[in-house]
A and B are shown apart, each in its own frame.
Chain A
């Protein structure tokens, strides 16, 4: 669901008039929802704390929201922007106190919304009234100034929700106060924003989140013979970033399923995961396999071997106990079987093809 946010009601008025199915939510009166249109609207209030709290509450009440579009007015920090220009935000910074040159370190990059718009950085100011000198300091960080966007972006980012921001310039550089909606211009700004929105938003921009499963994830998680644990599903996400499902892989996987003795889905999944792991980290996988079959398997009740799990060194660690001469003989004969030279050259990459 797309949530439109405005700092003040006058900025939202044209939207509330147009989207008649938007209904105020009983738990947050400034939140309007239209489930049929998959659309929400929030009057967040001014100030970054207020806007952050307001959006956090809206996201808790309405978990379907997956895209936040902040709309409203902004002041210009550069001369080339004029009242009435529609622009979009690129990155949002928080200006804490211009006189003391205090900025909040954290910033939030925004998702581009419309390729036809010029994009600029936004400074959300903690203070409303700024001198020209204050504005000049903030202009080192951005070209637009507002009162709410940083708080919204923080709330959205905490929930991993994408946000964009489209602004209409309400004040030019030389005006002392900014983002002041005067009655006469409010209606016009709101209508202009609505016209922009209707022209540039296709409904698919805010459809329900579709499953972002890769082909490999989809294939394995819906395979009737397999059962994936949560850990395996997470691993699969990681593997999918590098491994793409191919015809050859499907054939290999089906072959493994046919060849394996066990019919238990868990065993089958384990074998498939070994196969994928080999594709994902072939060097580490093969080192592990060599270590397992040639070294670790020599462990017995008197001596246990272990290897560097990262295979960064070829050192072979062991621990054991000797209570009799027989133990000593067993340990000595086991140690002589260790393929030390071979292991060293394997770890050094000498045998790698």
Chain B
């Protein structure tokens, strides 16, 4: 479990006494608790200046705040399995991990973590959207990793309670974390899916910086499956390397050996891609990244990605490898392609 030492913890004065806030504070490491600062609004500080992204390595602050404005947003097309409506809700900003391709590096002007604690309003909004669009998907982790800090926020229990009341809606918790202790104590629900991003061993180690190694992610998946939880997989982003096909064959073999591939709810595939802003930040932050070896070019939509021929080749190769390992074709979909 990740024990993060935040340099400072900023708490909005108006939510100091909210139960969720108090719980988070009580779970913080002692050293972080000694550096609590009470503020009027997180927006007085967060994003006011351009804080260099890589300061997340040794100068990471935590903001505990109230989310105002839009709480649930419709997700772009091609977000998940087609034909259904997808929404994401905003429970936090930023992530403790450091994947070199992460789009958050070009998104906020600060790497600091913001956790929103006005749960009741967020839940109310989810309920109202779910009522309006039955059968919709909800995603946590659009701006963060869904599980990485869940031991601190204690949010997992809230999700399960809420989605028990919304059996037609589905919740996806997207993660690379192995922070599953709380999940193992909760009774599984068919409409709550833990979806793990997995990459080749080499990419997990050298590109998904500070994330748990592949071996540990697979172990966490297995434990969740054994406990009866629904699990989805994201083989996304697939990254080119001189041995990409062997490495991905190996990854799929490992998946089929170490988890129950036949019980996986869905598998999404995607090839690495960047918006121009993120690409610019990525080049600045990770000039020596192995991602630069690939043939990245500006594409039809101004995004930076591999040429279509290469993308298709890689996607269909991984898709075929999965089908070869008995994954049902209709459970595999291309994400954001």
Binding site for B on A (CB under 8 A): 90-91, 93, 101, 103-107, 109, 121, 137, 140-141, 241-242, 280-284, 287, 310-313, 346-350, 352
Contact = CB atoms under 8 A, between A and B. Distances in A.
Contacts of A101: 44, 48
A137 B37 CA distance: 10
Given A91-B51, A283-B310, A284-B307, 19 more contacts: A105-B48, A105-B109, A106-B49, A106-B50, A140-B8, A141-B48, A283-B306, A283-B309, A287-B309, A310-B308, A312-B299, A312-B300, A312-B307, A312-B308, A348-B308, A349-B309, A349-B313, A350-B313, A352-B313
Contact of B308 (A107, A241, A280, A347): A347
Q: Which 10 residue pairs are nearest across A and B when measured between Cβ atoms?
A: A349-B313, A349-B309, A349-B312, A352-B313, A312-B300, A107-B50, A103-B48, A283-B307, A140-B45, A283-B310
Interface centre among A241, A283, A310, by most chain B C-beta atoms within 10 angstroms, is A283
Interface centre among B44, B45, B48, by most chain A C-beta atoms within 10 angstroms, is B48
B316 interface: yes
Given A349-B316, A352-B309, A284 B297 contact: yes
Given A141-B45, A312-B300, A109 B309 contact: no
B292 interface: yes
Interface string B273-310: 00000000000000000001101011110000011111
A257 to B, nearest CB: 26
A105 B59 CA distance: 18
A312 B305 CA distance: 11
Interface string B69-80: 000000000000
A283 B44 CA distance: 48
Nearest to B287: A241
Nearest to B37: A140
B63 to A, nearest CB: 10
Interface centre among B44, B45, B307, B313, by most chain A C-beta atoms within 10 angstroms, is B307
A67 to B, nearest CB: 20
A105 B50 CA distance: 6
Contacts of A141: 45, 48-49
Contacts of A313: 300, 308
A311 B307 contact: yes
Interface centre among A90, A347, A349, by most chain B C-beta atoms within 10 angstroms, is A349
Nearest to B294: A242
A90 B37 CA distance: 22
A311 B48 contact: no
Contacts of B37: 140
A105 B49 contact: yes
Interface centre among A101, A313, A350, by most chain B C-beta atoms within 10 angstroms, is A101
B311 interface: yes
B260 interface: no
A91 B52 contact: yes
B82 interface: no
Nearest to A285: B295
B325 to A, nearest CB: 22
A30 B45 CA distance: 37
A91 B309 CA distance: 43
Contacts of B310: 283, 349, 352
Contacts of A93: 49
B131 to A, nearest CB: 40
A107 B49 contact: yes
B312 A348 contact: yes
B309 A104 contact: no
28 contacts: A91-B51, A93-B49, A103-B49, A105-B48, A105-B49, A105-B50, A107-B50, A107-B52, A121-B59, A140-B37, A140-B39, A140-B45, A141-B48, A242-B292, A280-B295, A283-B310, A287-B309, A310-B300, A311-B308, A312-B299, A313-B308, A346-B309, A349-B308, A349-B310, A349-B313, A350-B313, A352-B310, A352-B313
A121 B49 CA distance: 12
Contacts of A280: 295
B305 to A, nearest CB: 10
A248 to B, nearest CB: 15
B10 interface: yes
B55 interface: yes
A347 B299 CA distance: 14
Nearest to B55: A91
A18 to B, nearest CB: 34
A310 B49 contact: no
Contacts of A310: 297-300, 307-308
Nearest to A281: B295
